[in-house]
Amino acid sequence: MKRIQFDEDIKPLSEFRANATALISKLRETKRPLIITQRGKSSAVILDVSEYESLLAKIELLEDIALAEKQIEEGKIYEHESTQKAVLESLKK
């Protein structure tokens, strides 16, 4: 995901309502998130669908890495040779 440009990517809700189509087109083109403010405070973030899916994939990968590191710390590991042998034996059946 590209970094937000504060001078272009923060819009009040009233401007978003008035220019939703143009702002969404710009969002798709730039692939940058759009921050919507309400009463001067950040209220929502709008992302391009492909950027959102990419973020989810990255989060899932990081969660898998964290789980793997925890399992290694807990000694829940298997040697390559024994795992390979078990898999090959199960394929013969």
The structural domains of the chain, with segments of one domain joined by +, span 1-47, 49-93
Parts of the chain with a pLDDT under 70? none
Using alpha carbons, select from 11, 15, 18, 20 the residue that is nearest to residue 43. Answer: 11
State residue 49's pLDDT score: 95
Contact 23, 16 (CB under 8 A): yes
State residue 1's pLDDT score: 80
State residue 26's pLDDT score: 95
pTM (2 d.p.):
0.71
Q: Calculate the CA dihedral of residues 45, 48, 50, 53 and round it to 10 degrees.
A: 20
CA 28 to chain centre: 16
The class that CATH gives domain 1-47 is alpha beta
Only one residue has tokens 């710009």, namely: 26
Under 8 Å CB-to-CB from 43, ≥6 apart: which residues? Answer: 13, 36, 37
